[in-house]
Amino acid sequence: MNQNQNRQNIFFRWVALIGILAFTLIYNGVINPAAVDAAGQPNCTYTIGYWKNHPENWPSNTVVLGSTTYVKSAGIAILSDPVGSDATHQLAAQLIAAKLNVLKGANNSAIASTITSADNFLKTNPYNSNPKGAARDTAISLAATLENWNTGKTGPGHCDDENATPTKTSASTNTPAPSATPNPTSNGQICWQGTNNASVTATTSWTVNSNGTVTIFVKFSKNFVDNTYGTNAIGWGTKGHTFSDLTGSDHVQLALYNGNNSKSMEFKVDYISSSNTVPSGYKTLGVTGGDGGMLTGSASDVTLVRTAMSENFNTYGYVLTSNSPATNFSYTPNANYPNWIFDVWYEVTVKTTPFGASGFGKPVIASVHASPSKTGNNTEPVSPVPCATPTNTPRPTATRTNTPALAPTNTPSGGTNCTYTQGFWKTHPEAWPVQTISIGGVNYSKTDAINNIFNVQPNGDATYILAQQLLAAKLNVLKGADNSAVASTMTNADAFLQAHPLGSNPQGTDRDSAIAMAATLDDYNNGRIGPGHCGDEVITPTPTRTNTPVSAPSVTPTFTSTPCNGGIFGFVRADGNGISSVQVVLKSGANVLSTTQTNSSGAFLFQPVANGSYTVQITVPSGYVAQSPTAPTVNISECSFVQVDFDLARFTPTPTRTNTAAPAPTATPTNTPSLNNCTFTQGYWKTHPEAWPVQSISIGGVNYSKTDAINNIFNVQPQGDATYILAQQLLAAKLNVLKGADNSAVASTMTNADAFLQA
């Protein structure tokens, strides 16, 4: 090598080094690269799924989002929840992928300004800040732009095989071809189960048509996502679910393989987006618009796309953008919208020509996706599992082999139209009428049901409280008890437990629903409703016994059930709202057995509680007065759960008074302050009618007696009705003024409130 060649080599090496240094300076404070991978295809982009699953190929060990630096493991954690309801999750995940793609060598001219804007946004709206309104819209828009670039819709294009090693393979790593799938057939089905959450399921099925096409159908389980939203959302908890959550952000990603197990097509299917091409204003935009997009293959080979929501809007004409049709946990059809589809499903028809001579093989999904989902993880990885064969659980016959016959003492003829408690079924497995049973869509063997449901201490988790009562109720029905009193409750309980798997510990209104259903089933199992309790829960032993005493033939040997424990639960509320951190004490006589505090929903629970009589006592917190007994007596029978609620009202304490002797005391009630220029809450006036300064009062132009005002205004739960909310406060304000309080601060407001209630 001559001297000129050496100089040229040194020159080009310096140019390369300067280029790398310049690039690093551009991203100084944003990403600190440890290495740049020159293998594979540098000028193309990988998805967030690739970077999540291939940490060994990261060109950097740290990444900066906004003004926060994350190590690789933290970045991967962010990539694992890329589409949560918190828009910063979506933006952060796409921004990480974009920055890694740029460091790898992808040309970022199409999104350089978007990366800068995303970083600036995350400086003022850090990860996990959950922005609302316009800020949330901005984050979602930025994330969508970055996602289009990362998936190859814009920019240099997608790295087809998503494999950073020099050797390419035909299968994408983020949609692996499962090994345990059926052989290619003209019609078939593959079932999927969550890799990290076994309660999440999906099915893919397909039909090869006679016109040279194949139709693929994908359906997600309703405990992951459904088509309920607004005020009628089912199983979405306090976070709720809106129509806008479904539009423009939901999709399914499908990889289609030929008969030789080689991937021929891969694409995302948009669920529903706004469109001016249909009267409803919304439809699926297929594989070319909205959240759809082609990853492998040609969009011209996709001949038809249908989705459940697009059908609801455009086939059935149900254009509901605020609230879905009202239903229950069983998704009973709504009479006004009988064809509404509550399941989330996608249907795609494609030509068979891309699959070649081997023909269509199978569809593959690597995950299910919804933004948001009910599980909180909006992308759940799935794996293929054997499809369950539907079976009908037979009702028990009158005679059973090697199983003791149920012989309740209150039905000497051997009839079984009565119920046993969960404690009986827990301690008498030999009396079970079946060997397996389904609870919340999950099949349990007898042993598993006893160990994983009956033997679990709920510790306040409403899913276990409900499952225990539902299991007992189902066993009673299978034994022969009439369940007409609780049939709908049992159906709803099963559906609830499908949407809220065991151990999910729902809160808020969802927890209230579960506790209410459990209480109804507890009443049924204990005989308070329905056909009645089976006496003392005794099993008559089998006729053949050895060593039976003959000296006392009138006494029938029995197996007596072992008593189990129940529980006491309830809520402490004021004006319908739960009050947290209220001390609740459980007593037996004068002995304190347990002390707890209410949670954020105002709920409390004592469990286990043995049979007996107890006192449940609360300490009324400062600023409240009791509207119900603060120490009621509760009786617990075997396994029963008893609900005890406490109602409070807000109360402004009476100003301190001096004991100055008055020559002629008036008949003013003792709880009315001598200093009248102060105000009391509506709770005070509601619970102290003796202190009212008048016997009648006008609200909104209507005259009310004291009794009518208390019953028809103060005692009404507003349920969100602003007229009652306003009337209650106006009534309290007027009583304060009549008592002597200065109303100069609210005089005009009171006048306007009266006028509003007249209108």
Q: Which secondary-structure segment (H or E) carries 507? A: none
Determine the CATH number of domain 566-650.
Answer: 2.60.40.10
What is the predicted pLDDT for the residue at 435? Answer: 86
Alpha-carbon span 745 to 724, nearest angstrom: 22
Q: Which two tokens stand for residue 42?
A: 């540098």
CA 463 to chain centre: 12
Does residue 589 surpass a pLDDT of 70? yes
Structure confidence at residue 475 (pLDDT): 93
Of 400 and 227, which is predicted with more confidence?
227
Distance (Å, whole) CA 290 – CA 695 = 64
Hey, is 669 helix, strand or coil?
coil
pLDDT higher than 80, residue 73: no
Residue 19 in this model has a pLDDT that exceeds 60? no
- Rounded to whole angstroms, the Cα distance separating 439 from 441 reads 5
Identify the pLDDT of residue 511.
84
Averaged over 133-157, what is the pLDDT? Answer: 89
| pLDDT band at 470; cut points 50, 70, 90 | very high
473 band by pLDDT with thresholds 50, 70 and 90: very high
Q: Can you give the pLDDT at residue 699?
A: 93
Q: What number is the average pLDDT over the span 99-118? A: 92
| Pairwise CA distance, residues 294 & 299, whole Å | 6
Q: What is the mean pLDDT of residues 521-546?
A: 66
The vertex-14 CA angle with 12 and 15, nearest 5°, equals 60
Spatial distance between the Cα atoms of 404 and 754, rounded to a whole number of angstroms: 72
Give the span between the Cα atoms of 699 and 733, in whole angstroms.
11
Task: Please compute, for residue 343, the number of CA atoms within 13 A of its CA located in the half-sphere on the CB side.
Answer: 13
pLDDT band, residue 185 (cuts 50/70/90): very low
Provide the 10 A C-beta neighbour count for residue 18: 10
Percent of the chain with pLDDT over 70: 78
Q: Which residue has the tokens 């009839």?
A: 415
**What is the pLDDT at residue 672?**
40
* C-alpha atoms less than 13 angstroms from C-alpha of 535 in its C-beta half-sphere: 15
pLDDT of residue 553: 36
Q: Cβ-count burial of 203 within 10 angstroms (0-12 exposed, 13-18 middle, 19+ buried)?
A: middle
Strands (E), 420-558: 436-439, 442-445, 538-539
Computed over every residue of the chain, the mean pLDDT equals 78
Q: Which of 228, 200, 571, 559 is nearest to 405 (CA)?
A: 559
C-alpha to C-alpha distance for 442 and 437, rounded to whole angstroms = 8
Least confident of 12-26, 212-226, 302-316, 710-724: 12-26
User: 368 vs 609, which has greater pLDDT?
Assistant: 368
Query: 605-662 pLDDT, tens per residue?
Result: 887 788 888 899 999 998 888 888 888 988 877 556 677 888 888 865 544 444 444 4
pLDDT higher for 229 or 681?
229
Distance of CA 125 to the CA centre of its chain: 25
- CA 498 to chain centroid: 11
State yes or no: pLDDT of 334 exceeds 70.
Answer: yes
Over its C-alpha atoms, the chain yields an Rg (Å, rounded) of: 34
pLDDT in tens, 50-62: 888 888 889 888 8
Strands 641-643 and 566-574, bridge-based pairing: parallel
Residues of the chain with CATH 2.60.40.10: 566-650
The pLDDT-based confidence of 99 (bands split at 50, 70, 90) is very high
CA distances from 86 to 93, 235, 322 (A): 12, 19, 21
Cβ of 543: how many Cβ atoms within 10 Å? 6
- Which residues have C-beta within 8 Å of that of residue 332, sequence separation ≥ 6? none
Q: Do 527 and 405 touch, CB atoms closer than 8 A?
A: no
Tokens matching residue 396: 């028990």
Asked whether the predicted pLDDT for residue 474 surpasses 80, the reply is: yes
Task: Provide, rounded to the nearest whole percent, the portion of the chain with pLDDT above 90.
Answer: 25
Per-residue pLDDT band for 352 (boundaries 50, 70, 90) equals very high
What does 722-748 look like in DSSP terms, one character per residue?
Answer: HHHHHHHHHHHHHHHHHHT---TTTHH
pLDDT at position 364 over 70? yes
Question: In the numeric block, which tokens belong to residue 5?
Answer: 């060649």
pLDDT tens, residue by residue, 409-442? 333 233 478 898 888 898 889 889 888 898 988 8
At residue 182, does pLDDT exceed 70? no
User: pLDDT-derived band of residue 397, with 50, 70 and 90 as boundaries?
Assistant: very low
The reported pLDDT for the residue numbered 85 is: 62
State mean pLDDT over 381-397.
56
Asked if residue 81 has pLDDT above 50, the reply is yes
CA atoms within 13 A on the CB side of 378: 22
Q: How far apart are CA 130 and CA 87, in angstroms?
A: 6
